Structure 1
Amino acid sequence: MYTPNLPAIRALRPAWNKGRIVGQKRPLKPKHVWAIRVRLELAQKHRDLALFDLAIDSKLRGCDLVKMKVVDVMTSGEIKERASVLQSKTCKPVRFEISEGARGSLKTWIQHPLMVGSEYLWPGRFHERLHISTRQYARIVRGWVTSIGLEASAYGTHSMRRTKVTQIYKKTGNLRAVQLLLGHTKLDSTVRYLGVELEDALAISEAIEI
């Protein structure tokens, strides 16, 4: 009796993104920023508070943030009001402001005993690792968002990068300003990054009367 060769039946693997929220990570809302900041202050987590404040202000990618050095933010014993960092992705410098609150938390952290002799702002725990890794930074961010009851899968390191520029865009509608702050070479990249839609453009247009 002839038995045809039938294709092998394989068990279906679950989709890699099943149960996960994929795509762009959400920016934090102002109330989330304050909630995380208060918790870090109460817990006296000086490094995390300085890292959180600078992540929000600098709008840097995680790979650039973790490699920042003390000289990037400090001169003559004082924290700079504005700083500049060379981006790894574009090899172009990007400037950013350091708010008063961030300057305070950075100064407290730099004066901490754990920072003695460290060239980097966020030194690693092991001698062979000069600074924290991007993976470690991602774990720290996950801890921040879960501490205030947010879903960890919806937020990530890019949430820190997007938080302030999202508010700037909502209040001003100035895409060019956001492009410069993010260090994007193309405006299209900024549009995609912010998720700007026609409804956003119409809302801005409706707010302008001539």
Structure 2
Amino acid sequence: MGHSSLDPAFDDLRPWNEGRVVGAKRALKPQQVWAIRFWLDQHRRLRDRALFDFAIDSKLRGCDVVKVWIGDIMAGGRIRDRAIVVQQKSKRPVQFEIVEPARQSLLSWFERRGGTLNDFVFPSRNDYMDHMSTRQYGRLVREWVTGIGLQAEEYGTHSLRRTKASIIYKATRNLRAVQILPGHAKIESTVRYPGVDVEDALELSERMDI
């Protein structure tokens, strides 16, 4: 049951988001990406290193990352240079690259994991024939970021989706490329994606001498 705004108890109610960080999760910076890789290698977390590298390269949403099949990214005993996945949310295919660090960590994981082309890349810990849950993926991301001293509240699975696109935009200022890579249908989503409206405005303002 709810409270009336005139009830005495209403003054004691706390907003659900009080003390929480809400809004878009931060993208990782290049040095943070390598710090997480070093932390995962140091703790011999082979699956997590493959998952992290794949998530960064694919720029997929968490719900798509966990449902990728081995056959989606592997052919002829090698990891594909490029792969295509149909996104669950938009039902549209998106193409992405898999660069050398990710190919190496995925191959190492497959050597340990085994499986066929019809198996999930990242199986569930409860049912090996099922895929990892997005909740488990989220918990892993929180472990990784806190492992290198970052605030867990500021990062999530979407941070990994945003990371490479954000780095590419800062290097090239090419919004169209950033729109294509994560499979955005509307440029409005892309403008918000790498923090263009905030960071670019501040940089322009800082260079303006009046």
Could you state the TM-score of these two structures normalised by the residue count of structure 2?
0.88
Q: Secondary structure at the match of 1:197?
A: helix
Q: Distance in 2 between matches of 1:80 and 1:139?
A: 28
Which amino acid in the other structure matches residue 101 of structure 2? G
Q: Distance in 1 between matches of 2:124 and 2:151?
A: 27
Partner in structure 2 of residue 71 of structure 1 = 71
Q: Distance in 2 between matches of 1:31 and 1:167?
A: 11
Which amino acid in the other structure matches residue 9 of structure 2? R
Report 1:23-62 matches (<5 A). 23-62=23-62
- 1:201 Cα deviation after fit: 6.7
Q: Distance in 2 between matches of 1:128 and 1:110?
A: 14
Which amino acid in the other structure matches residue 83 of structure 1? A
Partner in structure 1 of residue 114 of structure 2 = 115
- 1:111 Cα deviation after fit: 1.0
Partner in structure 1 of residue 83 of structure 2 = 83
Q: Secondary structure at the match of 1:182?
A: coil
Q: Distance in 2 between matches of 1:73 and 1:21?
A: 35
Q: Structure 1 pair 45/199, CA: closer, same or farther in 2 (3 Å)? A: closer
Q: Secondary structure at the match of 2:84?
A: strand
Q: Let me know the Cα RMSD of the aligned residues.
A: 2.0
Q: Distance in 2 between matches of 1:9 and 1:44?
A: 55
- 1:10 Cα deviation after fit: 1.5
- 1:195 Cα deviation after fit: 2.4
- 1:103 Cα deviation after fit: 0.1
Partner in structure 2 of residue 3 of structure 1 = none
Q: Secondary structure at the match of 2:52?
A: helix
Q: Are the aligned partners of 1:115 and 1:123 in contact in 2 as well (CA < 8 Å)?
A: no
Could you state the TM-score of these two structures normalised by the residue count of structure 1?
0.88
| Mapped pair 1:136 → 2:129 | no
For residues 143-193 of structure 1, the C-alpha deviation after alignment (integer angstroms, 9 at most, x for no partner) is 000000000000011100111110100010100101000100111111122
Q: Which runs of 5+ in 1 are unaligned?
A: 1-6
Q: Distance in 1 between matches of 2:114 and 2:18?
A: 42
Partner in structure 2 of residue 94 of structure 1 = 94
| Mapped pair 1:179 → 2:179 | yes
What is the number of residues matched between the two proteins?
A: 198
Q: Distance in 1 between matches of 2:179 and 2:173?
A: 12
Q: Structure 1 pair 21/202, CA: closer, same or farther in 2 (3 Å)? A: closer
Q: Distance in 2 between matches of 1:199 and 1:19?
A: 24
Larger radius of gyration: 1
Which amino acid in the other structure matches residue 143 of structure 2? G
Moved over 6 A (4+): none
Partner in structure 1 of residue 3 of structure 2 = none
Q: Are the aligned partners of 2:119 and 2:129 in contact in 1 as well (CA < 8 Å)?
A: no
Q: Are the aligned partners of 2:145 and 2:152 in contact in 1 as well (CA < 8 Å)?
A: yes
Which amino acid in the other structure matches residue 57 of structure 2? D
Q: Structure 1 pair 199/31, CA: closer, same or farther in 2 (3 Å)? A: closer
